[in-house]
Every structure is written in structure tokens, then in C-alpha cells.
Amino acid sequence: MRIVALVPARGGSVRIPNKNMQTLGELSLVERKVLQLKQCDIIDEVYVGSDSDDILEIAIKAGATPIKRNPIACDEALSPANVMIEDFSKLVNGDIGIWAHCTNPFIYGRHYKAAISSFLNKYAEGYDSLLSVFRVQSHMWNKYGFPVNYNPYNHRHTLAKEVDPFFFQDGGIFIQTINGFRESKYFFGRKPYLWELDFPASFDINTPEELDFAMAIYEYVDKLEDF
């Protein structure tokens, strides 16, 4: 069974210019992600797919296999995620795929290894995919101003530990068979297993402020992870 990582890293970005080439210390987000994936000794190959020659050159130096992709399939303004996923997954050689974004800078080799092991166990139980999520167990309200998971007007206040938790996709890890990616044309299948990631592993960079926050904590987290 050949296990491979797929790292999409397009050249452009809307909210953060050249987002995937932004740096935390001496490493760009692309280099950082490749090296984190290569920490996982059960991943056979790391593919970086991009429309940018500069990003692909960085990926090669970090030890990844470069895949030059169609710019249209990399542009979210022109193509939905389904097109991007189908396009990238058809260009790799493997049995199991780990879709990993550069914008989750605090997911390390140990996280990928644990997630892959969980996927293989759950796959045998009938799950077709795995996605990482973070848990929120608190007093939730919807946009209409109504409580979602508790009644604040009960005679006794409901403690946060007693309410139903919610799980949010953090975009960090998606695992399924390569054929699954190609057939579903999506990050996960019809029966995904929700695999929890704690903070800061679940942290995702989408805005300049989040990039600044990552810059402020990366040295501390890297030291904890011996990265």
C-alpha cells in the first residue's frame, strides 16, 4: 500500500498575497509543510501541486515531488474545489492520499502518522475517509439569536461540559483512497470519520492577522515538537 501526501499550493491568494510563500522564520509555508510531512515515516512520497514555478522549485529543494498544474484548476475564482481535487488527484501515484494544506503550520509528523493509523483502522470498519476537526463545547447560539445546544431559561444553568459539542473542519488533514479523491471529487467521501485536532494543531492561516499570530508563536510550538 503506497501512502502519498498531496499539498496544493497555488501561486496567488486573495487575502494574503503569495500566501504559500510567506515565511515563519527561515521556512516558507510550503517548505514547512513538506518537512512536516516528511517527518512521518509511513508517507512514501510528498507531492506539491502548483501553477507557480517558484513554489515548485522550493518544493524540490525541500524534498517533494513537483507537479505543474493547470492554472485554471488552481484558481478558485474560475474552478470549484471539486475541479481542483479531481485534477490534482489524477496526477499522483498512490493508494492512500493525505490532503494537506500549507496554511495549517502546526500539524507535524506525529499528527499525520496518528491520523493515517486511525484512517486505516476506521476504513476496515466501513468509514471511507477521515477529516480533521476541532471540538467546540460551549453555549452555542445561531444567527437568529436562539440558543442551539442548551436552554438558558431552565431553572438550573447548564454547564458547558454538559452541552452537546460541535465539530468544525479545520482544513488540516483529509485522508481517503486516491480513487476516492478521484471519484468523489471532494476532500472526503460519504462516510467520513471525524478525527479531532487540538489547538494549536487545528490553527489555520487565512488572514494577515492570523499570519501575524503564527509568527508570534511558531518558535515556541516548534520547540515543543522538536521541529
pLDDT digits (tens, 9 = 90+) for 43-95: 999 999 999 999 999 999 999 999 998 877 777 767 788 989 999 999 999 99
Label residues 82-99 b or e (16+ Cβ within 10 Å = b).
ebbbbbbbeebebebbbb
Q: Which residues contact 153 (CB under 8 A, 6 or more apart)?
A: none
Mean pLDDT across the chain = 95
pLDDT for the residue 15: 75
pLDDT for the residue 73: 73
Q: Provide φ and ψ at 75, rounded to 5°.
A: -100, 110
pLDDT for the residue 207: 94
Does 47 or 11 have the greater pLDDT score? 47
* pTM score of the predicted model: 0.94
Q: What is the count of structural domains for the chain?
A: 1
Tell me: the pLDDT tens digits for 86-118? 999 999 999 999 999 999 999 999 999 999 999
Is 218 a residue whose pLDDT tops 90?
yes
The residue segments making up the domain with residue 78 are 3-225
From the centroid of its chain, how far is CA 51? 19
pLDDT for the residue 68: 94
CATH code (residue 23):
3.90.550.10
Is 145 a residue whose pLDDT tops 80?
yes
Q: Provide φ and ψ at 48, rounded to 5°.
A: -115, 120
pLDDT for the residue 2: 97
pLDDT for the residue 12: 73
